[in-house]
Amino acid sequence: MGSEIARALTRADEKELLGAMVAELRAMRATQTDLMAHIRGGIANGVLLSELITLDANGQATRTFNVSAGSIVCVNLSESTDIILASSSAQATAPQAGPGVQKISAGTFLTVPLASSSFTVYGTAGEQVNVQVFTGLQAFAGGPVR
């Protein structure tokens, strides 16, 4: 009986079936990501963190999560100092370029994909940065704070 069904499918039917299967797999992956975020981190609304961070004496702040973050909104509250946002753990000095590295100018904000379970902000000791971290992607945005 299985071979009769297979022979009855046309190319158009096969393409439609394949498209439906791929869509279902994508939906399952998204659901599994949400479930893992909830199980591993207790996250139910997609928000991993919302925090006002003061950079330490080294001019750094690192945050780490039990799940991968999908995106981050980083607000540089300094009026004179640019900051570096890196999707990695702290290093001795701020990376100046490369994958997962973003420069955020003084007095601006930037929403970027993160795809990491940690991030580090580099700047001047004592400066403050607002961050909101999400399990999923947020719409890209950026601009002046004031």
The token pair at 108 is 């601006």
pTM assigned to the model:
0.71
Residue 54's CATH number = 2.60.120.10
- The verdict on 52 and 37 lying in the same domain is no
pLDDT tens-digit map of 17-40: 888 888 888 777 767 766 666 666
CA–CA separation, 78 and 33 (whole Å): 35
What pLDDT, on a 0 to 100 scale, did the predictor assign at position 33? 64
**Segments forming the whole domain that contains residue 73:** 47-144
Give the per-residue SS3 of 16-63: HHHHHHHHHHHHHHHHHHHHHHHHHHCCCCCEEEEEEEECCCCCEEEE
- The verdict on 79 and 28 lying in the same domain is no
pLDDT tens-digit map of 40-66: 656 667 888 999 999 999 999 999 988
- The verdict on 29 and 69 lying in the same domain is no
Query: What's the domain count of the chain?
Result: 2
Say how many C-beta atoms besides its own lie within 10 A of residue 1's C-beta.
5
What pLDDT, on a 0 to 100 scale, did the predictor assign at position 43? 62
- The verdict on 33 and 75 lying in the same domain is no
